[in-house]
Amino acid sequence: MNWVNGVLAVVAALAALITYQVKNEVSSLNQKSAHFERLMVQERERIEVQRAEWAYLNTPARLERLASQYLGLQTLATLQTTSAKVIPKRPKDAEDTPETISLLRLSGKVPMPVARSLWVLP
């Protein structure tokens, strides 16, 4: 009978030890998790501030001012824009002229490109 008691006592002691360790581990993990939770909140707040800052830096009025101040850019004229679709392929017999003019007319030689798809409403 004595040896049974002995074994049980050892088991009980072991169980107590393990319980203590697990408890300890859990509490330190909890602390860690709380710490990271706090860091996450801080980080999230920092992101919010940065997003606001980013939005401010991208304000159209500011970009417009910077573009004209440092890059010498102006507002587009409507006729300075076009679609890549309407630019025809270079004809084989075209001559290379270094001073190509902005818009060159070739009436009749190349069929009229139709880019009306742009005008079709969704």
Partner 1 sequence: MIAVVKSIKVEAQVRRRRIPQRLSLAAGVFCMLFMALLGRAAEISMTNEPRETGPAKAERVFTPRRDIVDRSGFVLATSVPLASLYADPYFILDPTDAAHKLHGVFPHLDPVKLAADLASDRRFVWVERHLSPEQQEQVHQLYLPGVSFMKEYRRIYPQGSLASHVLGHVDADGNGLAGIELSMNGQLVDETVTGPLALSLDVTIQHALESVLAQGIDEFQAKAGSGVVLDALTGEVLALASAPTYDANRPVPGDAERYFNRPVAGVYELGSVFKIFNSAIALETKTATHDMPVDARRPITIGAHEIKDFHAKNRVLTVSEVFKYSSNIGSTRLALGFGKEQQQSFFEKFGLMNRSSIELREAARPITPDRWGDITTATLSYGYGLSVSPLQLAEAVIPVVNGGLRMEASLLKGGRTSAPQRVLSPETAKQVRNMMRQVVEDGTGKRADVQGIGVIGKTGTAERAGRQGYTKRERISSFVAAFPAAAPRYVVYVVLEAPEGNKETHGHATAGWVAAPLVSRLVSRMSPILGIRPVFPEEQNGGVLLAVERVN
Draw the binding track, 93-122, toward partner 1 (x: CB under 8 A; -: no contact): -x----xx-xxxxxxxxxxxx-x--xxxxx
H/E element holding 23? Answer: helix 2-57
CB of 112 to partner 1, least distance (A): 6
Identify which of residues 70 and 111 has a Cβ nearer to partner 1 in the complex: 111
Distance (Å, rounded) from C-alpha 122 to C-alpha 120? 6
> Applying CB under 8 A, which residues contact partner 1?
30-31, 33-34, 37-38, 40-41, 44-45, 48-49, 51-56, 58-61, 64, 75-83, 86-88, 90, 94, 99-100, 102-113, 115, 118-122
